[in-house]
Structure 1
Amino acid sequence: MVRVVGIDHLAIRVSDLAASKSFYSRVLGFMGFAREWEFDRVVGWNNGATMFWITQADAVGRRHKHRTGDVGYHHYAFELAARGEVDALYDFLLTEKVVIVDAPAAYPSYGEGYYAVYFLDPDGLKLEAMHFVEKDKRRARRARPTETP
């Protein structure tokens, strides 16, 4: 058996590399990512734990715009450290005139303290920034030293 320790990177294809590079540089930069790679038709950012890459779609791919509901990518969620950070990102997205799908809100059906904002990239790909109190509590429980008799 193997054990996944995390997601190393996500790579998405975009229709206009220059426009998407500008968008992601601003949004990911606000979230603490630094652009680390740029080669051929690939641009990548890293925050020390996660890498996010964009790649230029080929000519055939650019003719088929993303359509929500198709098989494939649904959305990518960035986990933020606090609920207030979701609100801060939302304010930033508004100043950047990013398309907001759902303003920050609580989603109690997802679990205790789930709070998120949903927005779109230039190709209409859905992104989420969220904070989840229940995950904080799980991490705290795992971090507690076990008692020895």
Structure 2
Amino acid sequence: MEHPYGPGINHIEFWVKDLEQSVAFYSKLFPMIGWYELNKTSFSCGRHEIYFKEMPVAFHDSLGVRHICFHAVSREVVEQVGEWLQSIKADIIRGPVEMPQYDASYYTIDFRDPNGFVLEVAYAPNTKL
């Protein structure tokens, strides 16, 4: 029997300090970039899943991923995310901005979620994966 998915990431688990706050943030961000809700604490793009789990303070010092970059299907999606982040006074690190040092078409915004995780939403149509 052939497996429906190729090699790649099955899921990513985020440990968060406030589950309700995190789910509220991501339930607004994810639909803008083409992800959908699987259940109250899990989201998918059809190939990968991200879910959230509230953890006690003792676990907040775990080392982890530097940042996660999500694909945007257009520059307009990056703009929409930027406008939404500005409207909620999110911690925007940079952008929306063109990054020609990566690729002539690379357009991105980097920001922090309510837990301080660094996220990026980038339109990069010429980037080969």
**TM-score, length basis structure 2:** 0.82
Rounded Cα–Cα distance in structure 2 between residues aligned with 1:87 and 1:16: 27
After superposition, the Cα gap between the structure-2 partners of 1:59 and 1:134, relative to the gap in structure 1 and judged at 3 Å, is: same
Rounded Cα–Cα distance in structure 1 between residues aligned with 2:23 and 2:117: 14
Larger RCO of the pair (alpha carbons < 8 Å, separation 6+)? 2
Does residue 5 (structure 1) correspond to residue 13 (structure 2)? The answer is no
**Which residue among 111, 114, 128 is the counterpart of 1:119?**
111
Q: 99-108 or 49-58: which moved more?
A: 49-58
Identity value in percent = 25
Rounded Cα–Cα distance in structure 1 between residues aligned with 2:119 and 2:50: 12
8 A contact 2:33–2:77 mirrored in 1? no
Does residue 75 (structure 1) correspond to residue 73 (structure 2)? The answer is no
Unaligned runs of 5+ in 1: 140-149
CA drift at 1:23: 1.0
Tell me, what secondary structure is at the counterpart of 2:21?
helix
**TM-score, length basis structure 1:** 0.72
8 A contact 1:116–1:128 mirrored in 2? yes
CA drift at 1:37: 2.5
Amino acid at match of 1:97: K
Bigger Cα Rg: 1
CA drift at 1:15: 0.8
Greater share of helix: 1
- CA distances 1:31-56 after superposition (whole Å, capped 9, x unpaired): 23222134xxxx10123233221111
8 A contact 1:9–1:53 mirrored in 2? yes
**Which residue among 8, 16, 19 is the counterpart of 1:17?**
19
**Which residue among 27, 36, 39 is the counterpart of 1:37?**
39
Q: CA RMSD in A?
A: 2.3
CA drift at 1:29: 2.8
Corresponding residue for 1:54? 52
- CA distances 1:90-146 after superposition (whole Å, capped 9, x unpaired): 1122122221110111112212311110011011100000011323xx58xxxxxxx
**Which residue among 91, 97, 101 is the counterpart of 1:105?**
97
Rounded Cα–Cα distance in structure 2 between residues aligned with 1:30 and 1:97: 17
8 A contact 1:112–1:133 mirrored in 2? no
Q: 93-102 or 29-38: which moved more?
A: 29-38
